[in-house]
């Protein structure tokens, strides 16, 4: 059967859109289908961690993300109608040239989706909204999917690979029969909604704070004005009475307005509920992220407690890890082991992050219902692939605390060959590999052998020593997703590694 596209992506949330953007800039034919009419409408998934900001820098959306977002607000606790104490929910990274985005940002998920979709359109891509993947089969050469459109018509599409980014209840994962195991982190239901908040006390709910009532007997409530819009996010907890929240009755403006007024004891009303959802915090992970020619990514592969702001961030990093590997297999004849590394690398990361999210949630419960400060471990800057199958650390006598192959590639201000100022992130930006030459050899010619055009060599001038401080000495081959794949002192190792990711070894 002839192929209609190379990659079929089911789901146009942040995960599916990041993958589509990465494929579009690589010139890889793909198709994105989304069952909803137009993207995700709610604010869930608001925290964007520093490592994800670096991803957005690479994909060309960082200016829009920074312009539309805001810092993590200071928590303002209340006791009834009176303000109590303030405290910082998050900790920033240490100021350093290696970390250009040291602090998390807050942005409603619907706005993140809008920004990503606009970028996809800039690159010539699009999403088929109101189009649902209702079934698929796979064979050794590809995947055949059945799509259902809004008018009920069906379409058959043939692709080389299918990526399921269709959420925590992923129908693709269920059809594959991949176990999705985990546990309930908290049995108490939570209601989250985006509302228009009014009333005489509305001015007291200012946008500089995350307002929390944590000591109310009927349950906690939190109010946070969302960034650069008129809506306010409401988060309300309920006792575990074995019943699910009925959004039709409990998320109406009247019902939710009564709840807010009763728990805050402020003169507040809700005139409109623009979006609402309910959940019980749980964690679960798929047994594997690949089955033949089908991949699981994002919530289809792992779901988290929202505590710590890890879910969306881990999800888009899945897509960032997968995109360049799909290109290598499709365009450069890379071996199946390269594409298999997606499963190996991302399952390890997901398991670690799930543990972190669960720990933070439990710490919140044990510290007054949400008083646990999120530390630097939530930034995802220290996550990496040191034990991954694509990692080669071949230098000798590397200091214990030094950067190693498998680590995130740091930024550094330096100069190019002409003496013009440049950041390493400027050099890395794009779909290519970068050979960073920090051997300190004299001369203008790179020390590496002739390399394919998808590997760019850069020998920085480093008058302030920032690159050397971040990396040490050697040759560093930086992957397109911003991790050091190879660290070596021997130029011959570079050729061997390039062969590893291009099917020549």
Residue 505 confidence (pLDDT):
47
Chain-centroid distance of CA 154 in Å reads 32
Parallel, antiparallel or unpaired: strands 455-458 and 474-478: unpaired
Which segment, 21-30, 347-356, 439-448, is predicted with the most confidence on average?
A: 21-30
Q: What spatial distance separates the first Cα and last Cα of the chain, rounded to whole Å?
A: 30
d(CA 358, CA 381): 19
d(CA 236, CA 256): 9
Residue 122 confidence (pLDDT):
98
If you search the block for the tokens 């004891």, which residue do you land on? 265
d(CA 261, CA 254): 11
Q: Which residues of 431-448 are buried (b: 16+ CB within 10 A; e: fewer)?
A: bbbbbbbbbeeeeeebeb
What number is the average pLDDT over the span 112-125? 98
Looking at per-residue pLDDT, the higher value among 342 and 308 belongs to 342
Domains and CATH numbers, the chain: 5-69+107-184+283-379 (3.50.50.60), 190-280 (3.30.70.2450), 392-500 (3.40.30.120)
d(CA 191, CA 338): 42
Q: Per the structure block, which two tokens stand in for 216? A: 């109310």
Residue 442 confidence (pLDDT):
44
Nearest to 174 by CA among 294, 34, 58: 294
What number is the average pLDDT over the span 406-411? 98
The mean of the pLDDT values for the chain is 92
Confidence band for 443, pLDDT divided at 50, 70 and 90: very low
State the Cα angle at 175 between 170 and 176, rounded to 5°. 100
Helix (H, G, I), strand (E, B) or coil at 263: helix
CB atoms closer than 10 angstroms to residue 476:
26
pLDDT per residue as tens digits for the range 40-62: 889 999 999 999 999 999 999 99
Q: Per the structure block, which two tokens stand in for 458? A: 């850069």
- Could you give the percent of the chain with pLDDT greater than 70? 96
d(CA 164, CA 150): 20
Residue 502 confidence (pLDDT):
85
> Do 57 and 100 form a contact (C-beta atoms < 8 A)?
yes
Nearest to 478 by CA among 423, 445, 437, 449: 437
> Do 499 and 505 form a contact (C-beta atoms < 8 A)?
yes
* Lowest-confidence region among 280-289, 328-337, 409-418, 448-457: 448-457
Query: DSSP characters for 274-295?
Result: EEEEEE--EEEEES-SEETTEE
Cα–Cα distance list, 240 to 183, 189, 237, 243, 280 (Å): 16, 7, 9, 7, 10
d(CA 310, CA 45): 9
Beta bridge partners of 223: 211, 234
Q: Per the structure block, which two tokens stand in for 232? A: 């306010």
Residue 290 confidence (pLDDT):
98
What number is the average pLDDT over the span 397-419? 95
H-run or E-run covering 258? helix 253-264
Q: Is the pLDDT at 448 greater than 60, yes or no?
A: no
Looking at per-residue pLDDT, the higher value among 406 and 378 belongs to 406
Nearest to 169 by CA among 293, 322, 260, 298: 298
Looking at per-residue pLDDT, the higher value among 369 and 308 belongs to 308
* Lowest-confidence region among 87-91, 152-156, 209-213, 475-479: 87-91
Residue 217 confidence (pLDDT):
82
Cα–Cα distance list, 247 to 43, 169, 244, 251, 278 (Å): 16, 19, 9, 5, 8
Residue 371 confidence (pLDDT):
57
Looking at per-residue pLDDT, the higher value among 358 and 246 belongs to 246
H-run or E-run covering 364? helix 336-366
Helix/strand/coil (H, E, C) string of 468-490? HHHHCCEEEEECCCCEEEEEECC
Looking at per-residue pLDDT, the higher value among 374 and 234 belongs to 234
User: Would you report the helix, strand and coil content of the chain in percent, each value rounded to 5?
Assistant: 30, 30, 40
> Do 106 and 71 form a contact (C-beta atoms < 8 A)?
yes
Question: Does the CA dihedral 250-256-258-260 come out positive or negative?
Answer: positive
Nearest to 37 by CA among 12, 19, 17: 12
Q: Is the pLDDT at 8 greater than 60, yes or no?
A: yes
* Lowest-confidence region among 122-131, 182-191, 452-461: 182-191
pLDDT per residue as tens digits for the range 77-102: 999 999 999 988 888 878 799 999 99
d(CA 308, CA 299): 16
d(CA 120, CA 126): 6
Phi, psi of 465 (to 5 degrees): 75, 15
H-run or E-run covering 155? strand 154-164
pLDDT per residue as tens digits for the range 211-260: 999 888 888 999 999 999 999 999 999 988 888 899 999 999 999 999 99
Q: Is the pLDDT at 390 greater than 60, yes or no?
A: yes
Helix/strand/coil (H, E, C) string of 343-360? HHHHHHHHHHHHHHHHHH
Which segment, 190-199, 209-218, 233-242, 434-443, is predicted with the most confidence on average?
A: 190-199
Residues 6+ apart with CB under 8 A from 168: 284, 299, 300, 303
- Could you give the percent of the chain with pLDDT greater than 90? 79
Residues 6+ apart with CB under 8 A from 332: 454, 501, 502, 503
d(CA 7, CA 125): 13
What number is the average pLDDT over the span 143-167? 97
d(CA 191, CA 256): 10
If you search the block for the tokens 């050794």, which residue do you land on? 140
Length of the chain: 505
What number is the average pLDDT over the span 436-458? 77
């Amino acid at each position: 059967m002839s192929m209609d596209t190379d990659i079929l992506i089911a789901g146009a949330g942040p995960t599916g859109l990041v993958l589509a953007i990465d494929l579009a800039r690589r010139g890889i034919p793909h198709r994105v289908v989304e069952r909803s009419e137009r993207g995700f409408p709610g604010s869930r998934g608001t925290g964007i961690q520093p490592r994800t900001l670096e991803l957005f820098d690479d994909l060309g959306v960082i200016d829009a993300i920074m312009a539309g977002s805001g810092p993590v607000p200071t928590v303002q606790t209340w006791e009834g109608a009176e303000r109590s104490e303030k405290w910082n929910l998050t900790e920033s990274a240490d100021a350093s040239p290696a970390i250009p985005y040291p602090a998390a940002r807050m942005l409603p998920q619907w706005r993140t989706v809008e920004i990503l979709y606009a970028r996809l359109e800039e690159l010539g891509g699009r999403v088929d909204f109101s189009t649902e993947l209702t079934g698929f089969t796979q064979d050794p050469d590809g995947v055949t999917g059945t799509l259902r459109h809004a008018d009920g018509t069906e379409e058959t599409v043939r692709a080389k690979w299918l990526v399921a980014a269709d959420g925590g209840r992923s129908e693709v994962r269920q059809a594959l029969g991949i176990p999705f195991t985990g546990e309930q982190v908290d049995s108490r239901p939570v209601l989250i909604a985006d509302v228009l908040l009014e009333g005489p006390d509305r001015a007291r709910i200012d946008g500089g704070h995350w307002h929390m009532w944590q000591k109310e007997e009927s349950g906690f409530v939190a109010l946070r004005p969302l960034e650069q819009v008129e809506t306010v996010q409401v988060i309300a907890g309920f006792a575990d009475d074995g019943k699910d929240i009925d959004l039709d009755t409990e998320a109406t403006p009247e019902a939710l307005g009564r709840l807010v007024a009763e728990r805050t004891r402020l003169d507040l009303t809700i005139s409109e509920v623009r979006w609402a959802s309910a959940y019980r915090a749980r964690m679960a992970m798929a047994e594997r992220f690949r089955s033949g020619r089908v991949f699981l990514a994002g919530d289809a592969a792992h779901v988290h407690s929202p505590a710590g702001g890890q879910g969306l961030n881990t999800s888009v990093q899945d897509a960032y890890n997968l995109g360049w590997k799909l290109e290598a297999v499709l365009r450069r004849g890379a071996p199946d082991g390269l594409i298999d590394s997606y499963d190996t690398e991302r399952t390890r990361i997901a398991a670690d992050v799930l543990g972190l999210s669960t720990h933070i949630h439990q710490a919140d419960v044990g510290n007054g219902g949400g008083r646990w400060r999120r530390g630097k471990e939530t930034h995802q800057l220290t996550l990496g692939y040191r034990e991954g199958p694509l990692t080669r650390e071949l230098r000798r006598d590397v200091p214990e605390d030094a950067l190693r192959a498998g680590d995130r590639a740091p930024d550094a201000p330096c100069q190019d060959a002409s003496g013009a100022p440049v950041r390493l992130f400027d050099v890395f930006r794009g779909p290519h590999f970068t050979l960073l030459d920090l051997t300190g050899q004299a001369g203008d010619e790179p020390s590496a052998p002739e390399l394919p055009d998808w590997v760019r060599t850069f020998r920085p001038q480093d008058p302030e020593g920032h690159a050397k401080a971040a990396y040490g000495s050697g040759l560093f081959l930086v992957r397109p997703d911003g991790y050091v794949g190879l660290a070596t002192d021997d130029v011959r190792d570079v050729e061997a590694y390039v062969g590893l990711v291009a099917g020549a070894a």
